[in-house]
Amino acid sequence: MKKYIAANWKMNLTPKASVRLATAIAKAMRGKRYRAEVVIFPDALSLAAVKEALGKSGIFLGGQDCSVFPYGAHTGEIAAASLKALGARDVILGHSERREVGETDNLVKAKATEAMRVGLRPIICVGESAADRKDGRAMPFVRAQLRAVLPVKPVRDITIAYEPIWAIGSGRTPSVAEISAMHSMIRQEAARLTGKTIKVIYGGSVDAKSAASFLREPEIDGLLVGGASLRATSFLAICNQA
């Protein structure tokens, strides 16, 4: 199975800078056979322009979040169906930076249901805090989070992203063995809850140096890359190692 490599650009780039970066990545990838399935998640306002810049590069597009509601009177929200209409294939849901501004497991679960209803593939984020990890509660915490966000019905093409909150943007990561143990639990628990085989990817301070050891590990189906996806050179270096 191809490794899944996601570039989460968060709210770091202007639309112009997003197009520039997408163009550079697409140019480098066009015509080459990558062993990775690459997906770029620009901010919502840059989706259409990035889609165009990606052209026929074979790189997929995704949204960073979506509304729990179908079309209607919901000021400021972004409909999952509109993401789909703009060419997004995937959508990140429940990222810790969204949970920080109040998203609950229930909301994440409902968003996943709406995303799947319109044919988007949800990437649902889970992960423990530094305090939970320190107290040895990382595994039970993530298990409880999974039980709260799954099962969503009908389950189709869900990916779980294990992103320990303390590893995001900090330069620190769990060891490959720690990630592997967590992914194995997530895989088993997700299969039990949904009856489906579910991909489990890792995110949190992945860079060109650490990527190879993560990508070599069979328990790690792919990577969700933040900071290191903001430059074409470092992101391509990660993709090259898949």
Residue 121 forms beta bridges with which residues?
90
204 binds ligand PGA (CB under 6 A): yes
For the range 43-47, what are the long-range contacts, defined as Cβ-Cβ under 8 Å and sequence gap of 24 or more? 43/9, 43/10, 43/11, 43/13, 43/18, 44/78, 44/83, 45/15, 46/13, 46/15, 46/18, 46/19, 47/83, 47/86, 47/87, 47/88
- Name which of 42 and 227 has its Cβ closer to ligand PGA: 227
**CA 181/CA 116 separation, integer angstroms:** 28
The yes-or-no answer on residue 163 being catalytic is yes
**Residue 108 near residue 137, CB atoms below 8 Å:** no
- When asked if residue 151 is in the footprint of ligand PGA (CB under 6 A), the reply is no
**57 or 205, CB closer to ligand PGA?**
205
Catalytic residue among 37, 114, 128, 163: 163
In whole angstroms, how close is the CB of 238 to ligand PGA at the nearest point? 10
Counting contacts by CB under 6 A, is residue 226 touching ligand PGA? yes
205, 232, 241, 242: residue in contact with ligand PGA (rule CB under 6 A): 205
Active site residue 74: no
Nearer to ligand PGA, 194 or 205 (CB): 205
Instruction: Give residue for tokens 């915490």.
Output: 141
Q: Which residues bind ligand PGA (CB under 6 A)?
A: 8, 163, 168-169, 203-206, 224-228
